[in-house]
Amino acid sequence: DTGVSQNPRHKITKRGQNVTFRCDPISEHNRLYWYRQTLGQGPEFLTYFQNEAQLEKSRLLSDRFSAERPKGSFSTLEIQRTEQGDSAMYLCASSYRQGGYEQYFGPGTRLTVT
Amino acid sequence: GNSVTQMEGPVTLSEEAFLTINCTYTATGYPSLFWYVQYPGEGLQLLLKATKADDKGSNKGFEATYRKETTSFHLEKGSVQVSDSAVYFCALSDNAGNQFYFGTGTSLTVIP
């Protein structure tokens, strides 16, 4: 078990471009969460999946954001038509019920929109 | 709605000093409470948790007690070390783990 992994670790893009991030959770974890974290703030919940079903979405998740978790394994988070305000660290976490929903975080993907 | 309020930092302490980082929460129902730690250049790691009132979570010399009457979950350590320098986040979740709410984080620096 190598923990939660995220790719890429860093992404620089120009405003208006689309970007996609990937998260690979711990293999036996059925829940997967996405968060956004800006400098000096705590993680803000975006969305979560239980297996392949997307069960909750924050109102922070505008229609330019979409997340998928095909087959209940890895997940992708896509941001379309990026804006400078999207610059942040995007965190992924996974958990499972038998663990009391304790979350294990990945290292994050840092997005910079120029 | 649910929210977490954390003591603002940064906090600077000398090695072996006593640490308290305050955390209070607002929640409906019976949330679970957590402290996460983020060391420089690393991801968030769970430090300790408590799932019901009066539970005490502990790990690596850190402790926090779930106080329903004061809606608090303060983090304490009797003697900090330089290696404890990190950012500490208080968090809560509903009891089904559907959403997590994090505080803004408290940066701790321990000097020798």
CA separation for the pair B47, A60 (Å, rounded) = 27
What residues of chain B lie within 8 A of the CB of A91, using their CB? Answer: 43-44
Helices and strands, number each (H, E), in chain B: 0, 12
Which of A91, A100, A105 has its CB closest to that of B51?
A100
CA of A107: which chain B residue's CA is closest? Answer: B43
In this predicted structure, the answer to whether residue B23 has a pLDDT above a threshold of 80 is yes
Tens of pLDDT, residues A55-103: 888 887 889 999 999 988 999 999 999 999 999 999 999 988 765 678 8
